A and B are shown apart, each in its own frame.
Chain A
Amino acid sequence: DTAVSQTPKYLVTQMGNDKSIKCEQNLGHDTMYWYKQDSKKFLKIMFSYNNKELIINETVPNRFSPKSPDKAHLNLHINSLELGDSAVYFCASSSYYGYTFGSGTRLTVV
Protein backbone atom coordinates (compact mmCIF):
# COMPACT_ATOMS: atom_id res chain seq x y z
CA ASP A 1 0.00 0.00 0.00
CA THR A 2 1.42 3.35 -1.03
CA ALA A 3 1.28 5.76 1.91
CA VAL A 4 1.35 9.03 -0.08
CA SER A 5 0.45 8.68 -3.73
CA GLN A 6 0.59 11.37 -6.39
CA THR A 7 -0.73 11.34 -9.92
CA PRO A 8 0.44 11.75 -12.55
CA LYS A 9 4.10 10.78 -12.20
CA TYR A 10 5.02 12.79 -15.30
CA LEU A 11 3.23 15.72 -16.88
CA VAL A 12 4.33 17.45 -20.08
CA THR A 13 2.25 20.39 -21.19
CA GLN A 14 2.40 23.59 -23.20
CA MET A 15 2.75 27.08 -21.80
CA GLY A 16 -0.56 28.68 -20.97
CA ASN A 17 -2.36 25.42 -20.17
CA ASP A 18 -4.06 24.61 -16.87
CA LYS A 19 -3.18 21.37 -15.11
CA SER A 20 -3.85 19.54 -11.85
CA ILE A 21 -1.81 17.17 -9.72
CA LYS A 22 -3.59 14.91 -7.25
CA CYS A 23 -2.37 13.61 -3.92
CA GLU A 24 -3.84 11.11 -1.50
CA GLN A 25 -2.51 9.75 1.79
CA ASN A 26 -3.75 6.69 3.65
CA LEU A 27 -1.77 7.30 6.84
CA GLY A 28 -4.50 9.12 8.72
CA HIS A 29 -2.32 12.23 9.01
CA ASP A 30 -4.00 15.56 9.63
CA THR A 31 -1.46 17.73 7.80
CA MET A 32 -0.54 17.66 4.11
CA TYR A 33 1.91 19.71 2.06
CA TRP A 34 3.10 20.59 -1.40
CA TYR A 35 6.83 21.07 -1.93
CA LYS A 36 8.60 22.14 -5.12
CA GLN A 37 12.04 20.81 -6.09
CA ASP A 38 13.86 22.84 -8.70
CA SER A 39 16.53 21.76 -11.17
CA LYS A 40 19.23 22.29 -8.53
CA LYS A 41 17.37 19.86 -6.23
CA PHE A 42 16.41 22.58 -3.78
CA LEU A 43 13.21 21.66 -1.91
CA LYS A 44 10.91 24.45 -0.85
CA ILE A 45 7.53 24.37 0.81
CA MET A 46 4.61 25.83 -1.12
CA PHE A 47 1.50 25.06 0.91
CA SER A 48 0.38 23.26 4.01
CA TYR A 49 -3.12 22.16 4.99
CA ASN A 50 -4.23 20.91 8.38
CA ASN A 51 -7.51 19.05 8.36
CA LYS A 52 -8.62 20.84 5.17
CA GLU A 53 -7.58 24.30 6.41
CA LEU A 54 -4.77 26.25 4.73
CA ILE A 55 -2.05 26.99 7.29
CA ILE A 56 1.02 27.79 5.20
CA ASN A 57 1.15 29.68 1.91
CA GLU A 58 4.72 30.54 1.03
CA THR A 59 4.54 33.43 -1.43
CA VAL A 60 3.48 31.19 -4.25
CA PRO A 61 1.98 32.88 -7.37
CA ASN A 62 -1.78 32.84 -7.24
CA ARG A 63 -1.79 30.78 -10.43
CA PHE A 64 -1.22 27.89 -7.98
CA SER A 65 -4.32 26.91 -6.08
CA PRO A 66 -4.37 24.00 -3.64
CA LYS A 67 -7.61 22.28 -2.77
CA SER A 68 -8.26 19.85 0.06
CA PRO A 69 -11.66 18.15 -0.24
CA ASP A 70 -10.92 16.07 2.86
CA LYS A 71 -7.94 15.50 5.11
CA ALA A 72 -6.70 12.56 3.03
CA HIS A 73 -6.49 14.54 -0.21
CA LEU A 74 -4.60 17.64 -1.28
CA ASN A 75 -4.69 18.57 -4.95
CA LEU A 76 -2.71 21.27 -6.72
CA HIS A 77 -4.17 23.17 -9.64
CA ILE A 78 -1.94 25.39 -11.75
CA ASN A 79 -3.34 27.96 -14.18
CA SER A 80 -1.59 29.54 -17.15
CA LEU A 81 1.52 27.40 -16.87
CA GLU A 82 4.88 29.07 -17.45
CA LEU A 83 8.27 27.66 -18.39
CA GLY A 84 9.56 28.42 -14.90
CA ASP A 85 6.95 26.13 -13.38
CA SER A 86 8.92 23.14 -14.66
CA ALA A 87 10.04 21.23 -11.58
CA VAL A 88 9.28 18.16 -9.51
CA TYR A 89 6.35 18.66 -7.14
CA PHE A 90 6.18 16.55 -3.99
CA CYS A 91 3.17 15.97 -1.85
CA ALA A 92 3.77 15.01 1.79
CA SER A 93 1.82 14.35 4.94
CA SER A 94 2.92 14.46 8.54
CA SER A 95 2.18 13.37 12.04
CA TYR A 96 4.08 13.94 15.28
CA TYR A 97 6.56 11.28 14.18
CA GLY A 98 7.53 12.94 10.94
CA TYR A 99 6.87 13.48 7.29
CA THR A 100 6.14 10.99 4.53
CA PHE A 101 6.71 12.16 0.97
CA GLY A 102 5.14 10.97 -2.24
CA SER A 103 7.36 9.97 -5.15
CA GLY A 104 6.86 13.24 -6.97
CA THR A 105 5.30 14.61 -10.16
CA ARG A 106 7.76 15.82 -12.77
CA LEU A 107 6.13 18.75 -14.55
CA THR A 108 7.69 19.90 -17.81
CA VAL A 109 6.31 23.00 -19.48
CA VAL A 110 7.25 23.41 -23.15
Chain B
Amino acid sequence: GQQLNQSPQSMFIQEGEDVSMNCTSSSIFNTWLWYKQDPGEGPVLLIALYKAGELTSNGRLTAQFGITRKDSFLNISASIPSDVGIYFCAGQGGEKLTFGTGTRLTIIP
Protein backbone atom coordinates (compact mmCIF):
# COMPACT_ATOMS: atom_id res chain seq x y z
CA GLY B 1 0.00 0.00 0.00
CA GLN B 2 0.95 3.63 -0.34
CA GLN B 3 3.27 5.10 2.23
CA LEU B 4 4.39 8.66 2.71
CA ASN B 5 8.12 9.31 2.96
CA GLN B 6 8.90 11.11 6.17
CA SER B 7 12.31 12.41 7.20
CA PRO B 8 14.32 12.29 9.23
CA GLN B 9 13.55 8.86 10.64
CA SER B 10 14.90 9.90 14.04
CA MET B 11 16.28 12.99 15.70
CA PHE B 12 18.40 13.45 18.79
CA ILE B 13 18.37 17.03 20.00
CA GLN B 14 19.02 19.06 23.11
CA GLU B 15 16.27 20.79 25.01
CA GLY B 16 15.67 24.25 23.60
CA GLU B 17 16.64 23.39 20.02
CA ASP B 18 14.29 23.82 17.10
CA VAL B 19 13.13 20.77 15.16
CA SER B 20 12.11 20.37 11.55
CA MET B 21 10.67 17.33 9.80
CA ASN B 22 8.99 16.82 6.47
CA CYS B 23 6.84 14.49 4.49
CA THR B 24 6.55 13.84 0.77
CA SER B 25 4.14 11.86 -1.33
CA SER B 26 3.84 10.72 -4.91
CA SER B 27 0.11 11.47 -4.72
CA ILE B 28 -1.84 14.64 -4.13
CA PHE B 29 -3.78 14.98 -0.89
CA ASN B 30 -6.49 17.50 -0.08
CA THR B 31 -5.70 17.49 3.61
CA TRP B 32 -2.42 17.06 5.47
CA LEU B 33 -2.34 16.22 9.14
CA TRP B 34 0.40 15.96 11.74
CA TYR B 35 0.05 13.60 14.70
CA LYS B 36 2.13 12.80 17.77
CA GLN B 37 2.18 9.40 19.41
CA ASP B 38 3.33 8.87 22.99
CA PRO B 39 4.32 5.38 24.19
CA GLY B 40 1.30 3.19 24.84
CA GLU B 41 -1.11 5.69 23.34
CA GLY B 42 -2.80 6.36 20.04
CA PRO B 43 -1.82 9.21 17.72
CA VAL B 44 -3.10 12.62 18.75
CA LEU B 45 -3.76 15.34 16.21
CA LEU B 46 -1.42 18.33 16.40
CA ILE B 47 -2.19 20.36 13.30
CA ALA B 48 -4.53 20.01 10.32
CA LEU B 49 -3.89 21.70 6.96
CA TYR B 50 -6.68 22.08 4.42
CA LYS B 51 -5.37 24.33 1.63
CA ALA B 52 -2.27 24.21 -0.54
CA GLY B 53 0.22 26.79 0.69
CA GLU B 54 -1.45 27.07 4.09
CA LEU B 55 0.82 27.83 7.04
CA THR B 56 -0.68 27.05 10.44
CA SER B 57 0.65 27.37 13.98
CA ASN B 58 -0.35 25.71 17.22
CA GLY B 59 1.76 27.11 20.04
CA ARG B 60 5.37 26.17 19.36
CA LEU B 61 4.36 24.05 16.36
CA THR B 62 4.15 25.34 12.81
CA ALA B 63 3.19 23.31 9.78
CA GLN B 64 2.81 24.06 6.10
CA PHE B 65 0.87 22.40 3.31
CA GLY B 66 3.05 22.35 0.20
CA ILE B 67 1.93 24.20 -2.93
CA THR B 68 2.04 21.01 -4.99
CA ARG B 69 -0.16 19.27 -2.35
CA LYS B 70 2.42 16.48 -2.28
CA ASP B 71 4.41 17.57 0.75
CA SER B 72 4.27 19.14 4.18
CA PHE B 73 6.65 20.13 6.93
CA LEU B 74 6.38 20.48 10.69
CA ASN B 75 8.58 22.73 12.82
CA ILE B 76 8.81 22.66 16.60
CA SER B 77 10.49 25.62 18.21
CA ALA B 78 12.33 25.64 21.55
CA SER B 79 11.83 21.92 22.25
CA ILE B 80 10.92 20.78 25.75
CA PRO B 81 11.11 17.30 27.33
CA SER B 82 7.42 16.52 26.71
CA ASP B 83 7.99 16.88 22.95
CA VAL B 84 9.59 13.42 23.00
CA GLY B 85 7.61 10.91 20.97
CA ILE B 86 6.93 9.79 17.42
CA TYR B 87 5.56 12.31 14.95
CA PHE B 88 3.54 11.18 11.96
CA CYS B 89 2.37 13.05 8.93
CA ALA B 90 -0.79 11.82 7.27
CA GLY B 91 -2.45 12.61 3.99
CA GLN B 92 -6.20 12.36 3.80
CA GLY B 93 -7.96 11.19 0.68
CA GLY B 94 -11.68 10.61 1.18
CA GLU B 95 -12.24 8.72 4.41
CA LYS B 96 -8.78 7.21 4.48
CA LEU B 97 -5.60 8.43 6.18
CA THR B 98 -2.26 7.40 4.72
CA PHE B 99 0.47 7.77 7.29
CA GLY B 100 4.11 8.66 6.96
CA THR B 101 6.84 6.43 8.27
CA GLY B 102 7.27 8.50 11.43
CA THR B 103 9.99 10.64 13.01
CA ARG B 104 11.14 9.59 16.46
CA LEU B 105 12.19 12.61 18.51
CA THR B 106 14.54 12.11 21.45
CA ILE B 107 15.73 14.92 23.69
CA ILE B 108 19.20 14.54 25.12
CA PRO B 109 19.58 15.86 28.66
Contacts and interface: CB of A to CB of B under 8 A. Distances in A.
Interface stretch (B19-27, B37-45, B53-61, B63-71): B37-45
Contact of B99 (A43, A55, A100, A102): A43
Interface centre among A43, A44, A45, A103 (most CB of B within 10 A): A43
Given A43-B88, A99-B97, A58 B1 contact: yes
A83 B31 CA distance: 35
The interface residues of chain B, by DSSP majority, are classed as strand
Interface in B60-108: 86, 88, 95-99, 101-102, 104
Nearest to A94: B95
Interface residues of A, number: 25
A45 B42 contact: no
B14 interface: no
A45 B86 CA distance: 18
Interface in B8-40: 33, 37, 40
Interface residues of B, number: 21
Nearest to B98: A45
B33 A42 contact: no
B99 A42 contact: yes
A62 B44 CA distance: 30
Contact of B96 (A4, A56, A97): A56
A86 interface: no
A90 B42 contact: yes
B40 A43 contact: no
A90 B98 CA distance: 14
Interface in A1-60: 4, 31, 40-45, 48, 50, 55-56, 58-59
8 contacts: A4-B42, A45-B98, A58-B1, A94-B95, A97-B48, A99-B45, A100-B45, A103-B42
